[in-house]
Amino acid sequence: MNVYTIESRCTATAKYKLWPQAALHTQWPGSGTKGDPVFDAFYKSIVPNLTSSVEVSQLVKAAGTQLLDRIGPVVLVTHSQSGFLGWILGDARPHLVRAIVALEPSGPPFQQAIFASTPSRAYGITDIPLTFDPPVLSPSDLTPVTLEQTPLYTNIQQAHPARRLAHLACIPVLVMTSESGYHTVYDHCTVQFMRDAGVDVTHVRLEALGIRGNGHMMFMERNSAEIAEVVEKWISKVLPTNEG
């Protein structure tokens, strides 16, 4: 990702205002622009990614399931581009994933949003098959239908009756959305897809808890301790004491 992409989407969104809520971003530590020490340190940590999400999915599923077999059970915490990997690993090893915390996970279902409108996530929330009931032999079996279309996103969901995500339905999920990050525009679409598929999803919007001004990199921002406390309390609530 280049400097403009990081600044406009993550660290200095109020400067660019690419979506309405971007102007509310106040919690990044520093100016969020090139030349600021915090931004420069963050930018140095960014590494290249494979261009094929199908290839990424297959590689992480193969490696991740082996890791889970060694260290599980676990609580998976994902963010942004890694969001779909949590669904894949939870689906592959539901008995080893006690809960999934998804901080603004990749979405919305079936199509990119805000910065592009190209097809994506052919299986709704992933690019490779998950365990649906009734089984899905191809993406078309999900019969995607458009429920809402706006200049920034399109809400595409399964036709009803929706097929159930048989394995993920056994795992409690927390989806957390910041006040000003670009996911605030469409995370509700991802939550709707999962709930329609039988997944127990708690959707937390930080501003509803009085936690204001956060963007997409909420866990790196000035009030990140408050956010971590929300996550910790949710985990303690959904897991028995001897599993926490």
**What are the C-alpha distances in Å from 99 to residues 66, 146, 168, 244?**
18, 30, 10, 10
Which domain, by its residues, includes 142? 54-243
Q: How confident is the model at residue 244 (pLDDT cuts 50, 70, 90)?
A: very low
The answer to whether the beta carbons of residues 7 and 33 sit under 8 Å apart is yes
Collapse the DSSP code of 176 into the 3-class scheme (helix H, G, I; strand E, B; otherwise coil) and give the result.
Answer: strand
The β-bridge partners of 172 are none
Residue 239 inside a domain? The answer is: yes
**CA–CA separation, 177 vs 199, rounded Å?**
18
Residue 177: which H helix or E strand, with range?
A: strand 173-177
Q: Single out the residue of 174, 184, 37 nearest to residue 101, CA to CA.
A: 174
Domain CATH number, residue 227: 3.40.50.1820
Residue 19 maps to a domain: no
Total structural domains within the chain: 1
25 located within any domain? no
Whether residue 29 is contained in a domain is answered as no
CA dist., res. 129 & res. 84, Å (int): 11
Mean of the pLDDT values across residues 8-23? 98
| 104 belongs to a structural domain | yes
Least Cα distance to 190 among 170, 179, 174 occurs for 174
User: How many CB atoms are located within 10 Å of the residue 155 CB?
Assistant: 21
Across the range 42-58, mean pLDDT stands at: 93
Query: Could you give the residue numbers annotated as active site?
Result: 80
For residue 151, is it within any domain? yes
18 falls within a domain: no
Cis peptide before 119 (omega within 30 of 0): no
**DSSP assignments along 29-88, one per residue:** SS--STTSHHHHHHHHT-----S-HHHHHHHHHHHHHHHHHHH-SEEEEEEETTHHHHHH
Residue 78: inside a domain: yes
pLDDT per position as a tens digit, 158-208: 999 999 999 999 999 999 999 999 999 999 999 999 999 999 999 999 999
Q: What pLDDT, on the 0 to 100 scale, is given for residue 242?
A: 54
Place of tokens 């998804």: 102
pLDDT for 190: 98
pLDDT at 157 over 80: yes
Q: What is the mean pLDDT of residues 20-47?
A: 96
